Amino acid sequence: MHVMSQQDDAASLQGLVDLERYPLHDLDGDTGWQLIEECRRQLAADGCVVLKRFVPDHALARLERETERLSPEAHYNQTETNPYNSDADPSLPVSHPKNRFADRTNGFVAGDRIGSDTIIRQVYENAEFQRFIARVVGMEEIHEYADPLAGLVINVLREGCQHPWHYDTNEFIVTMMTRRSHGGGRFEYVPGIRSPEGENYPEVERVIDGERSRVKSLELQPGDLQIFFGRYSLHRVTPVEGDRERHTVIFAYAKEPGFIGRPERALRIFGRMAPIHEQLLKEGLQRSDNLQD
């Protein structure tokens, strides 16, 4: 079996990533280190870094066509959700964040629908890209999901779709905008509003009530790569306006190899389970931290 070298991996990013601006092919060189340090500084400052036009201009049209072609495969789900994807707690006041539910309607194209010939699949599986992300988020290494549905996903928001205030299951998430909607669809977030030490419910409640002093808003463009600490930063996507869908690719990685998402989550998000999820249903799952999900 042929094992790709780092040079092979870097060469395979040619044409997929703007290597002039983002030298993923030279992470151990001066420019590579500068890029990583700059990203780390921004992440430390507010939990988010955006790499503008990560995909070179000449590949942007192809990138947009990929998600346009796959978007009809999206499974849409509509639900009322609180920021923790949990049930209400009748022992708490109605104003408490756990009892604050909002409409969440969006579509997801599962990873097993995304072919190996796509830019997004080639970037997701590229070892140099993974090495770059790992260094930026301060990990020794990161791993592709073993979950055939949830590792590489396209989020599709059509008119009226939104993702209300919530946290991510992952400590960090990597996304790429591939298509903007005509209006709405803004990504908004509140950096580090909670931590492993505490949920900070009073501050979360104020944000839900419309307090915007800590809210940051991003106008992402096609080809922009975003690295985001979404486990500790409350965030949302505002309702999409107009008849043009908003498409975003989600590159999901885990600290350890073999990660598989919760079966009930797969069923809700993709409308189906993979055989591995059915197996996990029998075994049960436990989280490594005590934060609400």
- Mean pLDDT computed over 33-44: 97
Q: Which segments of the chain does DSSP mark as H helices, in order?
A: 6-11, 30-46, 57-70, 119-125, 127-137, 201-208, 263-270, 275-283
pTM: 0.90
Closest CA to 222 of 23, 106, 50: 50
Q: For all residues of the chain together, what is the average pLDDT?
A: 92
pLDDT at 3 over 70: no
Pairwise CA distance, residues 161 & 147, whole Å: 26
* Backbone phi and psi for residue 139, each to the nearest 5 degrees, phi listed first: -115, 150
Q: What are phi and psi of 33, to 5 degrees?
A: -65, -40
The C-alpha angle with vertex 44 and arms to 41 and 46, in degrees rounded to 5, equals 110
The residues, ordered by sequence, that sit 6+ positions from 239 with a Cβ below 8 Å of its Cβ are 160, 161, 162, 184, 185
Q: State residue 150 phi and psi, 5-degree precision.
A: -100, 0
pLDDT band at 262 (very low <50, low <70, confident <90, very high): confident
Which value, to the nearest 10 degrees, does the dihedral of the CA atoms of residues 20, 59, 134, 204 take?
120
Sequence-distant (6+) residues with CB within 8 A of 27 are 33, 36, 128, 131, 132, 135
Q: What percent of the chain has pLDDT over 70?
A: 93
Q: What is the pLDDT of residues 168-196, one digit of tens each?
A: 877 899 999 999 999 999 999 999 999 99
Domains and CATH numbers, the chain: 48-124+138-283 (2.60.120.620)
User: What is the phi/psi pair of residue 190, to 5°?
Assistant: -120, 105
Read off the pLDDT of residues 40-88 as tens digits, 9 standing for 90 and up: 999 999 899 999 999 999 999 999 999 999 999 999 999 999 999 899 9
Tokens representing residue 253 in the block: 């990685």
pLDDT of residue 268: 86
Q: What is the pLDDT of residue 170?
A: 77
pLDDT over 90 (residue 130): yes
As a dihedral over the C-alpha atoms of residue 122, residue 127, residue 133, residue 137, rounded to 10 degrees, the angle is 150
C-alpha 249/C-alpha 261 separation (Å) is 17
| C-alpha 292, offset from chain centre | 18
